[in-house]
Structure 1
Amino acid sequence: MYKLDAAITGWINSLSGNSLLDHVVITISNLGVPLLVLAVAAQWWAGTERTKTRHILIAAGLTFVIGLGINQIILLFDQRLRPYDAGVTRLLIERSSDPSFPSDHATATFAIAAAFLIHNLPRRGLVFLLAAILVSFSRIYIGTHYISDIMGGALTALFAALLVKALYKPETGVDRFLTNIL
């Protein structure tokens, strides 16, 4: 399985080398997560169904944090080398000091998309899903992750979204308190 993972990762990374495209993809990689977080936060005051939207925004934030927390637990047990350290990819940005699996970028972006999709805001969810795919692709392209790191991050995000959906219910006291802030 590793050979297939490395082959696909190496092929995607081999697409790099065009300075303009490299610059665009590096920018997507660097700004993707913060821009998605801003896109979520900006919706706090938007729309006609504010209570429902705010519930989903809080669920997205919880999914984001829980997903990244799960990643930290996984890192206690798996210290996978980055693909550039294994000679699979050529790195286009600064080296990272943490292990490769799972991808925090993938977890963060897919967490947002999964929260919107699971909580039945499909159009917004699909936009966030496309953004998550783009950011995640950029992480492979620039040489920082294997494709399986991305899939692991996406699965962590999905698990976190399902957990939040099961535990954070609309119209509870906590939900009413949080959705009425500001």
Structure 2
Amino acid sequence: MQAFDLMVIGWLNQFSNMNLTFDKTLYVIADNHLLKGGVIMGLLWWVWMRNGPNFAAPGLHALRSIAGTLLAIVVARAMQNLLPGRLRPMQEPTLDFLQPFGDHPPGIVELSSFPSDHAVMFFALSTALFFAVRALGIAAYIWTTVVICFPRIYLGYHYPSDIIAGAVVGVLIMIPVMRMPLPSAIPNLLARVQLRHTGLVFAGIFLLTLQMATMFENSRRLLAGAAQVLGSKEAQVDRKSKGTVPPSFDAALD
């Protein structure tokens, strides 16, 4: 697989910096949540709403789609944390990778390259679409491959094997989630909850799918910001206990 990765990356990288417009376009696509999650999630919402607004409809496709995707992301993140870290092509010093025109988004270099969480999430969602409407699922697979994953290989965010592994994880987790038999009591319970709290259910699923469409970017920023604030507060308390914080600075923080 390493030979395959190097062959593909090497072949694609020969086109790097040859066309400013092409490189910049791929950066825009790679960093645009509307073109990535917006399209796939929009198709899923159409599937869920086409026969009426009912998340507790027989089959529970919406809830299975969400649960399968979240499970796949958890598995992928566990793999990133537990497996040996892998530098991205743009970070690998032995690869002599020529960075395309533009700047990579901040924070991307902090995570292991293997597997691609984009591939995990959007191949999982595409599989959910395939179970609902086969033609839409095939279109979603093509969109995910060409629009979401290809730019990430070209720009040096991932090796092809990162994408392939992510796709395998997403698909193999979503399939059993979609096929798993459920006791009739579960859809009945969900139907009652939806009937009693319709607005709350729809608002909650909307917010959750919005975060999924944006790769939980705002949630992660919020958590990172909260951790930063808490860390700053602890450092401030420590400095105060040592008498090293000037009164004006102390008042400004409080």
Question: Could you state the TM-score of these two structures normalised by the residue count of structure 2?
Answer: 0.61
Superposition CA RMSD, Å: 2.7
Q: Map 1:10-21; keep pairs closer than 5 Å.
A: 10-17=10-17, 18-21=19-22
The aligned residue for residue 143 of structure 1 is 156
Q: Which amino acid aligns with 1:5?
A: D
Residue by residue over 1:19-41, the C-alpha shift from the partner in whole angstroms, topping out at 9 and shown as x without a partner, is 22223222222224431234423
Q: Map 1:22-101; keep pairs closer than 5 Å.
A: 22-30=23-31, 31=33, 32-35=35-38, 36-47=40-51, 51=57, 55-75=60-80, 76-87=82-93, 88=95, 89-91=97-99, 92=102, 93-94=104-105, 95-101=108-114
The aligned residue for residue 178 of structure 2 is 165
Q: Which amino acid aligns with 1:139?
A: R
Q: Is the 8 A contact 1:100 1:144 kept in 2?
A: yes
Aligned pair count?
Answer: 179
Shift of 1:100: 0.2
Q: Is the 8 A contact 1:107 1:153 kept in 2?
A: yes
Counterpart pick for 2:120 among 95, 107, 120: 107
> Alpha carbons of 1:166 and 1:42: their partners in 2 closer, same or farther (altered >3 Å)?
closer
The aligned residue for residue 125 of structure 1 is 137
- Percent identity over the alignment? 22
The aligned residue for residue 2 of structure 1 is 2
Q: Structure 1: 5+ residue runs without aligned partners?
A: none
Q: Which amino acid aligns with 2:83?
A: F
Name the SS for the 1:96 alignment partner: helix
Residue by residue over 1:128-154, the C-alpha shift from the partner in whole angstroms, topping out at 9 and shown as x without a partner, is 111111211111011100000000000
In 1, Cα distance between equivalents of 2:191 and 2:87:
42
- Point out which structure has higher relative CO (alpha carbons under 8 A, 6+ apart): 1
Q: Is the 8 A contact 2:89 2:158 kept in 1?
A: yes
Shift of 1:162: 2.2
Highest CA radius of gyration, 1 or 2? 2
Question: Could you state the TM-score of these two structures normalised by the residue count of structure 1?
Answer: 0.82
The aligned residue for residue 213 of structure 2 is none
The aligned residue for residue 175 of structure 1 is 187
